[in-house]
C-alpha cells in the first residue's frame, strides 16, 4: 500500500527539519513544495507531500506520522 502525507509548517527551519525527518524514515518526496501566505497569522507557510510504500491495508484510523 502507498501511504500519503502532506507536511506543513511555517516558513522556518522547523519545516526543513520536518521534511528531513520524514525522509530519514523512508518517506519520499511527492511533487513540488508549495509556499503560500497565511492571511490569519500574516506568515508564509510551506507544504510538501510525501509518500511511502508500506505493508498491509489502508485503515481510516492509521497513524501516518508513525509509519
pLDDT at 35: 96
The domain segmentation of the chain, as residue ranges, is 2-58
Region 15-36: what's the mean pLDDT? 97
pLDDT of residue 66: 87
* pLDDT at residue 24, as a whole number: 97
pLDDT tens digits along 35-63: 999 999 999 999 999 999 999 999 999 99
Instruction: Specify the pTM.
Output: 0.89
3-state SS track over the chain: CEEEEEEEEECCHHHHHHHHHHHHCCCEEEEEEEEEEECCCCEEEEEEEEEEECCCCCCCCCCHHHC
Using a pLDDT cut of 70, give the percent of the chain over it: 100
Amino acid at each position: 500500500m502507498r501511504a500519503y502525507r502532506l507536511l506543513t509548517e511555517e516558513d522556518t527551519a522547523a519545516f526543513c527539519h520536518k521534511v528531513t525527518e520524514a525522509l530519514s524514515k523512508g518517506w519520499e518526496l511527492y511533487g513540488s513544495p508549495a509556499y503560500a501566505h497565511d492571511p490569519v497569522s500574516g506568515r508564509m507557510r510551506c507544504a510538501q507531500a510525501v509518500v511511502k510504500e508500506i505493508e498491509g491495508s489502508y485503515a481510516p484510523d492509521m497513524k501516518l506520522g508513525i509509519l
